[in-house]
Amino acid sequence: MEANPRSTGRLPAAFLTPGSSSFMDFLSEHQPAILPGNRQLPPMKGVIEAPHGTTIVAATFPGGVVLAGDRRATMGNMIAQRDIEKVFPADEYSAVGIAGTAGLAVEMVKLFQLELEHFEKVEGATLSLEGKANRLSTMIRSNLGMAMQGLAVVPLFAGYDVDREKGRIFSYDVTGGRSEEHGFAATGSGSIFARGAMKKLYSKDLTEDQATTLVVQALYDAADDDSATGGPDVARRIYPIVTVITADGFRRLTDDESSEIARSILERRLEQPDGPRAALL
């Protein structure tokens, strides 16, 4: 009888056999039940109440891209969480903002992070930014069964393309369809309001500071009209998560930096509640 690898201190044969550089392919072959897309669910009866609802926004500027998200999660007409984190680093030069069912979205991000790390360790090089975007597209498509039952995940992916030396943004639909966005993008329940704000305020020659202010302005406008999006909460000191990705890599703004941007916007909104006005011509 073959000895149990655990009792002998050896790794199982699956870990020692050369194979694909994709961690998802590895799981598909050896532990397919772990992958979210392979879970068998009973027919849904009624509505599944799970934390969801959000607004994620992104904007490019010369030298990089900014990705930001609000902090509210809702469950029906209730606020499920006020300080949830929805923007995560994917690797050194990219990040993901999640929208949709919170639990499944966070799990997908963790698997995506592991997928990119596994590829880099096996191949000795990182995927191109488009390659990363395609991998995420495949993962979203594998969640289609859950999405058909009302548990969709629709993230926003942004990163710095080291080959083209610029920031890029990719959006997705519920089936995993991928589209590259130019300039700015938004996803989530308040995205229509955020896009409207950015459409009037965005310009290609924004500085990094202006880009971070732009995305927080957009989140504020989204929160103003969408109950599932939370605006800056000064009383609880809860502010949007704002990240910047440049040639120097991923960086998340500190709470002090985010609060400074949010407070400056709030002060201006006391005079102009609807936000800054764009020129007519």
Q: Is 120 helix (H, G, I), strand (E, B) or coil?
A: helix
If we measure between CA atoms, which residue out of 179, 35, 56 comes closest to residue 104?
Answer: 35
CB-based contacts of 51, cutoff 8 Å, min separation 6: 73, 74, 75, 80, 81, 84, 101, 102, 103
Examine residue 86 and state whether it is found in any structural domain, yes or no: yes
**CATH number for the domain that contains residue 107:** 3.60.20.10
Confidence of residue 122 (pLDDT cuts 50, 70, 90): confident
Examine residue 184 and state whether it is found in any structural domain, yes or no: yes
Examine residue 12 and state whether it is found in any structural domain, yes or no: no
Examine residue 231 and state whether it is found in any structural domain, yes or no: yes
Confidence of residue 77 (pLDDT cuts 50, 70, 90): confident
pLDDT on residue 1: 39
pLDDT on residue 72: 95
CB-based contacts of 256, cutoff 8 Å, min separation 6: none
Domains in the chain, number: 1
Per the structure, the complete domain to which residue 73 belongs is given by 49-271
Residues 214-268 pLDDT 10s? 999 999 999 999 999 999 999 999 999 999 999 999 999 999 999 999 999 999 9
Give the DSSP per-residue string, 34-87: GSGGG---PPP-S-----B--EEEEEEETTEEEEEE---EEETTEEEESS---E
Whether 57 contacts 243, CB under 8 Å: no
CA dist 41 to 33, 145, 147, 148, 273, Å?
Answer: 12, 9, 12, 11, 46
Whether 96 contacts 149, CB under 8 Å: no
Record the pTM.
0.84
Q: What angle do CA 147, 149, 152 make, to 5 degrees?
A: 25
Examine residue 181 and state whether it is found in any structural domain, yes or no: yes
Q: Is 126 a catalytic residue?
A: no
CA dist 195 to 62, 186, 201, 233, 241, Å?
Answer: 20, 6, 10, 22, 18
What average pLDDT does range 6-23 have in this prediction?
Answer: 58
Q: Which of 54, 74, 187, 229 is catalytic?
A: 54
Whether 47 contacts 206, CB under 8 Å: no
Whether 157 contacts 112, CB under 8 Å: no
Q: Indicate the angle between helix axes 129-142 and 102-123, nearest 10 degrees.
A: 140
* Spatial separation of the C-alpha atoms in residues 106 and 127, rounded to whole Å: 21
Examine residue 56 and state whether it is found in any structural domain, yes or no: yes
Examine residue 172 and state whether it is found in any structural domain, yes or no: yes
- The pLDDT of residue 105 is above 50: yes
Examine residue 80 and state whether it is found in any structural domain, yes or no: yes
Provide φ and ψ at 70, rounded to 5°.
-80, -175
- The pLDDT of residue 48 is above 60: no
If we measure between CA atoms, which residue out of 275, 242, 252 comes closest to residue 69?
Answer: 242
